[in-house]
Structure 1
Amino acid sequence: MAFPGLQHVAITVSDLQRSTEWYSRLFGADPVLDEDEEGGEFHHTVYALDGGLLFGLHTHQGRESKDRFDEHRTGLDHVGFALNGTAELEQWRDRLDELGISHGGIKKAHYGSGLSFRDPDGIALEFFIAPGT
């Protein structure tokens, strides 16, 4: 039996309105879902990305930790978005510049090339291409 691929990623944010506006600009799309969970435990705002991946923003009705994201703590390190070559990576670098989103520039390594940036809560995100693409 093959191990399944990712279907969705959900991150907890400190300010849902701010993050929804930021991710809508980044994704160039509006959410496909924006509602309270049936039990009232959390609210989720969800985007449908190319390839079928859903990307969700969660708020836990004021019960979130007020800590900023830190990839050095156990848990999420970063979320990587797959690209299909250097030209596309360069286009996203230019798009981040247009949006005023700071980034670390394109970094090349033997395992691939990436462009790292952070969302309003400091959550680490990356555009990434595998070697040879």
Structure 2
Amino acid sequence: MIENMPQLTGIHHLSLTVSDLAVSTTFYQRVFGFPPAGELGGENLQRKLFALPSGTNLGLTEHSPTTTEKFSPFRPGMDHVGFGVNTKDELQAWADHLTQVNIEHSGLVEAPYGTALSFKDPDGTALEFFFGA
């Protein structure tokens, strides 16, 4: 470690650009089971903010104008957003919840380093719930 290096406390927030704020807000509300905690409006943007139980905030931002290109993990930038869970049983409960609210998902996928449950938002942004082994 480098001496006198400033310290981080973790990820405070992550903001995703969406093509339709109303559609995306409804989707994430179905996923998380609670409404946004706040919103922000500014010149050429509208944002809804979800306060996640972990303390991280997830913002959904619609810019004006915006492109109609869909998300691709193959384009430089973000590959996916991973939400951590505490147990494999919790991960299965998330899979059951996504099924119940009609969100298509991968089912539990095991790897040597943990188990993932992958799905996509309305813009195709890759998301996953993850339990590390």
Superposed displacement of residue 22, structure 1:
0.8
| Unaligned stretches of 5+ residues in structure 2 | none
| Aligned length in residues | 128
Superposed displacement of residue 86, structure 1:
0.8
Alpha carbon RMSD of aligned pairs, Å?
1.0
Superposed displacement of residue 3, structure 1:
3.4
The one-character-per-residue Cα deviations of 1:73-116 (angstroms, maximum 9, x if unpaired) are 00110000000111000000000000100011111111111000
Paired position in structure 2 for 1:30: 35
| Unaligned stretches of 5+ residues in structure 1 | none
Paired position in structure 1 for 2:111: 109
Paired position in structure 2 for 1:15: 20
Paired position in structure 1 for 2:54: 51
TM-score, normalized by length of structure 2? Answer: 0.92
Quick one: distance in 1 between partners of 2:19 and 2:44? 15
The one-character-per-residue Cα deviations of 1:31-58 (angstroms, maximum 9, x if unpaired) are 1112312xx1321100101021100000
Superposed displacement of residue 4, structure 1:
3.2
Paired position in structure 2 for 1:60: 63
Paired position in structure 2 for 1:78: 80
Quick one: distance in 1 between partners of 2:33 and 2:107? 21
Quick one: distance in 2 between partners of 1:85 and 1:51? 15
Report percent identity of matched pairs. Answer: 41
